[in-house]
Amino acid sequence: MSDKKIRVMVAKPGLDGHDRGARVLARCFRDAGFEVIYTGCHQTPEQIASAAIQEDVDVVGLSCLSGAHRYLFPAVAKLLKEQGADDITVVGGGIIPEQDFQLLYDAGLKAIFVPGATLASIVDWFNTNVQPRA
Amino acid sequence: MERVKRIKAGDVRTASRLIRNLEDGMIEARSTIKHIFPLTGRANVLGITGSPGAGKSTLVDGLVESFRKKEKTVGVLAVDPTSPFTGGAILGDRIRMQRHAEDPGVFVRSLATRGALGGLAKAVGDAIHILDVMGKDMIIVETVGTGQQEVDIINHSHTVIVVLIPGMGDEIQAIKAGIMEIADIFVINKADREGSSKLRREIMAMLDMAPPTAFAAGWRPPIIRVENAFEPEGFNKSLEELSSTIEKHYQHLVKHDLIGSRIRRKAVMELNEAIRTCILEPVLNRLIADGETETMIEKLINKETDPYTLAEDVAKRYLKDLNL
């Protein structure tokens, strides 16, 4: 019997060592029955895109609390696209002002989660919008 | 077959997706393996096992670095546990290996155990074949953090490295069966910590008492000390020693014609595994789908019958040629 699972990569791009939120999310995704690849802090967009492809994830969740999301999030989306992997859903979260949302959506991100988003609402979004591809 | 061609050309997406399809138990993925299987057997497969937190992933990272310096391409399969309650998993071995993420000569894939009990994931055997056909020279398989009994790694590896750390228990641990018996090489990791000399003595004493037959063609598992990974100079030196010991072990297998017995061990395991997949799983799935499983469980709980009677009845229906 086929046993499909959502594979998620939780990644922290750039010079931001605050990964409590990312770890809480990783744990929460585990409890939702997803397979979660966590790659740790201080990742370049190139490392994240390459690892996402090697791991065949369905979705990459980027966390950034440093304010550099305007550069880092689109960079990951662009690299995935260049490598023919734009079927991988990219979402982001962190301290992200509302006026930046459109720029990130235009760059290909499918959702932005900011402080106040409940874990349940994030898992719900994943279950509704992400299909395990196999 | 187009897919096989792409894997032979080293295409990461195709390979990773195929591994995914195998993990998910998709039948069409098996047909690709049928084409891949005859092409395998070129890579040197290395197994790394040891308790949780022993430093396996960090050692793998160091070995990758050392193999890359020798211009060998490397594939890594890193296994972490699946939650028995939610089916989810956190696959965190990669954290230690991310410096190689952009190196096209290195392919790292994390797998969750999904209920497999031997310290690996069910798809590992086929995933090794895929990395092999991609052309990886060295394939490193990192098990889950193991206890004493998760020894499936021996069925897949040319060389098994057991990673130990000081302070894990008294000398009785060293004479127990299981994981302590499968090592071709021991690593005492975090050897700058207290208790590492004692651990070394315990392993030595255990090896001294082993019957000579335990050492294939005279290979007595060497013990390599590896100190603090945050002090790169000493760490890298130990890793060079480990990497050359791995090479020596491989030469030993070749010289004494021992590779064949390891290949045979893997063949036996793969055959049993495939029979289970092709016979047992479809039957179990059918019983679940028909609601029969539930009925049988109820009967057992109410003591109306016993598990053997039920299983024999299932076997009689599905396996007509067996004389039960």
The answer to whether the beta carbons of residues A25 and A63 sit under 8 Å apart is yes
Question: How is chain A split into domains, by residue range?
Answer: 7-128
| pLDDT for the residue numbered A1 | 43
Q: Which two tokens stand for residue B99?
A: 């410096």
Name the phi and psi angles at B224, rounded to 5.
-110, 130
Q: What is the mean pLDDT of residues B105-127?
A: 93
Name the phi and psi angles at B144, rounded to 5.
-60, 165
**Facing A34 at nearest CB: one of B13, B88, B110:** B88
Could you give the CA distance from residue A104 to residue A94 in angstroms, rounded to a whole number? 13
| pLDDT for the residue numbered B177 | 67
Kindly report the nearest CA distance between residue B100 and chain A, in angstroms. 8
| pLDDT for the residue numbered B229 | 86
Closest chain B residue by Cα to residue A28: B88
Q: What is the mean pLDDT of residues B110-139?
A: 94
Burial class from Cβ neighbours inside 10 Å (0-12, 13-18, 19+) for residue B259 reads middle
Asked if the Cβ–Cβ distance from A47 to B281 is below 8 Å, we say no
Reported ipTM: 0.91
Quick one: what percent of chain B has pLDDT higher than 90? 71
**Facing B16 at nearest CB: one of A27, A48, A54:** A54
Is the full-model pTM beyond 0.90? yes
Which residues sit opposite B161 in a β-bridge? B48, B185
Tell me the pLDDT tens digit for each residue of A91-121: 999 999 999 999 999 999 999 999 999 999 9
CATH code, B41-256: 3.40.50.300
Could you give the CA distance from residue B96 to residue B140 in angstroms, rounded to a whole number? 14
DSSP letter for B243, please: H
A-chain residues near B10 (CB < 8 A): none
Q: Which two tokens stand for residue B238?
A: 């130990």
Could you give the CA distance from residue B108 to residue A55 in angstroms, rounded to a whole number? 8
Is the domain defined by A7-128 classed in CATH 3.40.50.280?
yes
Tell me the pLDDT tens digit for each residue of A52-88: 999 999 999 999 999 999 999 999 999 999 999 999 9
Could you give the CA distance from residue B227 to residue B235 in angstroms, rounded to a whole number? 6
Where does CATH 3.40.50.300 sit in chain B? 41-256
Q: What is the largest CA-CA distance in chain B?
A: 68
The answer to whether the beta carbons of residues B87 and A10 sit under 8 Å apart is no
- A82 and chain B: CB distance < 8 Å anywhere? no
Question: What type of residue is B59?
Answer: L
| pLDDT for the residue numbered A2 | 54
Could you give the CA distance from residue B17 to residue B29 in angstroms, rounded to a whole number? 10
User: B24 to each of A8, A14, A33, B121, B159, how far by Cα in Å?
Assistant: 15, 33, 14, 11, 28
